Amino acid sequence: MAASIERVLADAGVFIAESGTGKTYAYLVPVLLSGKKTLISTGTRHLQDQIYHRDLPQVRDALGVPVTTALLKGRANYLCRHRLARTAAEGRFASRVQAADFQKLAAWAQRTRRGDIAEVSEVPEDSELWPLVTSTADNCLGGGCSDFDRCHVNAARREALAADVVVVNHHLFFADLALRDEGFAQLLPGVEAVVFDEAHQLPEIVSVFFGQSLSSSQLNGLCRDTVAEDVREKSGVAGLPEAAAKLEKAVADFRLAFGKESKRASLAGLEDDKSFRQALSDLAARLDGLVQALTLAAPKGQGLANCHRRALDLAERLTLIRDATSDYVSWYETTHRGFSLYLTPLDVSGPFRGRVEGSGKAWVFTSATLAINKNFAHFQMQLGLENAETGLWDSPFDYARNTLLYLPTGLPNPGSPDYTVAVIEAALPVLAASRGRAFLLFTSHRALRLAEELLQGRLDHPLLVQGEAPRSVLLERFRELGNAVLLGTGSFWEGVDVRGEALSCVIIDKLPFAAPDDPVLQARGRAMEEEGRNPFMEYQLPAAVIALKQGAGRLIRDENDRGVLMLCDPRLLSKPYGKTFLASLPPMPRTRALADVQRFFDTTDRPQHAAR
């Protein structure tokens, strides 16, 4: 794989590679030896930190090459001195705990060099303080900020411009590519090579950034900042606070127009709803009213000028979403408190191909899960990379000796109302045999919550549940306990690395097909049918296969790992498409007998008992 990437870097080609393990070193070695200025983009900030702080220094030291490196994240990951000072001056905190956490942040701000909020472990990741002390593209004052010369974001960008290798994440990369609002527009033209790690995430991320979005939190944030800047800059513009208040009320009324329940659906389904249409018109009118008031206020100060720019941008987004063309699907998602509106392109292959072809750069796409039954056609089609060179390297792990694939008998159809109950009943003897040490991965939060209820008081092992603590904390507890059972959904299906005995069993409840009522799935399916194509075989099935490969990939992370993968869904054997899923998994011995699972763990654990 490294040799193939070396050739692609030299020829400025396009290469798609799947490798079960070792892929990070396989691209880092040729990248560092090439001498080319390279952007490495990965799926999450956690993986970004891992590559930058661990893998990259190891390879650079081993090769002995004088390569300079930089880590660049989105602006919301860096302390904003201006907003820190403003929050301190306002002094309004929701609780004593929040006030105490702010003092910790203020003390850290005095000593940090990079301003990367990942340095602060004492304040929870989901603390409501972070938005108060970091900036976004919307509220950044830019060159008008008094702290501009000492800005941590600007310092990180300067380092990136000067470095040979820069590590970013997919969201930052595409925010710049599509929206030009994250500020490394100066960086991209000088880059000679781009490497995407965890490239299986790209089709969904590209769809987001080549579309539009608008949320209640953006609108309410604009209203709050407008009032704060009006007070601070004493604009004297009559009606400005009232315009902000009216928009805030229109936002609340618009949320109510969707109904009380949280949902996700196409906006087209609400076209005949008169009350919804009226609420949408009122929202647009109140946003226009705030734009007009801010047009008068903008010359009064930098903060108000920034609010004016934001209001214009949000008004334009709302118009685009309302007037969606046939190439896009407009849809919404509501939570208990808020809403988000989206405009998503039905096909991103054309725009993405246009960014890649003729760029003069080398492009490398790699992941452990890109191929369907050893074929890359699905991934290539989604991103317009049909002409790319491809390569697949199977994992060197000894699956034949170290794993067992268990397909239990007697489970009902996944559509049955008692399906999750049956899954838990089938899983309990497996969890007893594995002595805990297991992930139970679910395709829905509803199933996870039911499983939590069903398992309470029936396990001899600690039970950890997604949502009761941040993911990093849960994983640390899982590793330390050594015999826990962890229940998780989407975020635990990928990017989770637990090596050793602590994770010896992965149980997956259903094949991870996207929800059939997903508005983007439905719209893309209709478009494919109109072209005479089969949306299930070309779109839904490949996406589910890749998701299953990700979940199954949690089990074996090291050459010494051993474990059982339990796939509960009976469709693996009852439906013709089940063969596609099974053919895309590693070559694991297969059984339908619980006794084989129990024997596997007896054999696995016996030498360790003897050693103790």
Nearest to 92 by CA among 228, 247, 234, 241: 228
| CA separation for the pair 254, 222 (Å, rounded) | 16
Place of tokens 């009522």: 517
| CA separation for the pair 287, 73 (Å, rounded) | 31
Q: What is the pLDDT of residue 610?
A: 33
Q: Which residue intervals of 440-534 are DSSP H helices?
A: 445-455, 471-481, 519-530
Which amino acid does the sequence have at 127?
S
CA 400 to chain centre: 32
Report the CATH number of the 212-345 domain: 1.10.275.40
The three state secondary structure string of 386-446 is CCCEEEEECCCCCHHHHEEEECCCCCCCCCCCCHHHHHHHHHHHHHHHHCCCEEEECCCHH
Where are the CATH 1.10.275.40 domain residues in the chain? Answer: 212-345
Q: How far is CA 370 from CA 166, 391, 540, in A?
A: 24, 10, 14
Is the domain covering 399-611 a CATH 3.40.50.300 domain? yes
CB 373 within 8 A of CB 584: yes
Where are the CATH 3.40.50.300 domain residues in the chain? Answer: 2-68+164-208+348-393, 399-611
Q: What stretches in the chain show pLDDT beneath 70?
A: 176-186, 604-612
CB 219 within 8 A of CB 64: no
Nearest to 341 by CA among 245, 417, 412, 276: 276
Place of tokens 């013709």: 576
Q: What is the pLDDT of residue 186?
A: 65
Q: What is the pLDDT of residue 178?
A: 55
Which residues 6+ apart lie within 8 Å of 57 measured at CB? none
Strand 485-488 relative to strand 505-508: parallel, antiparallel, unpaired?
A: unpaired
CA 193 to chain centre: 23
Start-to-end Cα distance in the chain: 41
- Say what the pTM is: 0.86
Taking 3-state DSSP, the helix, strand and coil percentages for the chain, each rounded to the nearest 5, stand at 55, 15, 35
SS3 for 265? strand
Q: State which fold the 2-68+164-208+348-393 domain adopts.
A: Rossmann fold (3.40.50)
Computed over its alpha carbons, how large is the radius of gyration of the chain?
26
Q: List, for residues 301-323, the tens digit of each pLDDT value.
A: 888 999 999 999 999 999 999 99
SS3 for 14? strand
Q: What is the pLDDT of residue 556?
A: 92
Q: List, for residues 555-605, the tens digit of each pLDDT value.
A: 998 889 999 999 999 999 999 999 999 999 999 999 999 999 999 999 865
Which residues 6+ apart lie within 8 Å of 301 measured at CB? 229, 232, 233, 235
Place of tokens 């007998």: 593
| CA separation for the pair 234, 80 (Å, rounded) | 23
Q: List, for residues 414-428, the tens digit of each pLDDT value.
A: 999 999 999 999 999
SS3 for 251? helix
Q: What is the pLDDT of residue 346?
A: 94
| CA separation for the pair 167, 42 (Å, rounded) | 8
SS3 for 553? coil
| CA separation for the pair 391, 385 (Å, rounded) | 14
Report the DSSP beta bridge partners of residue 118: none
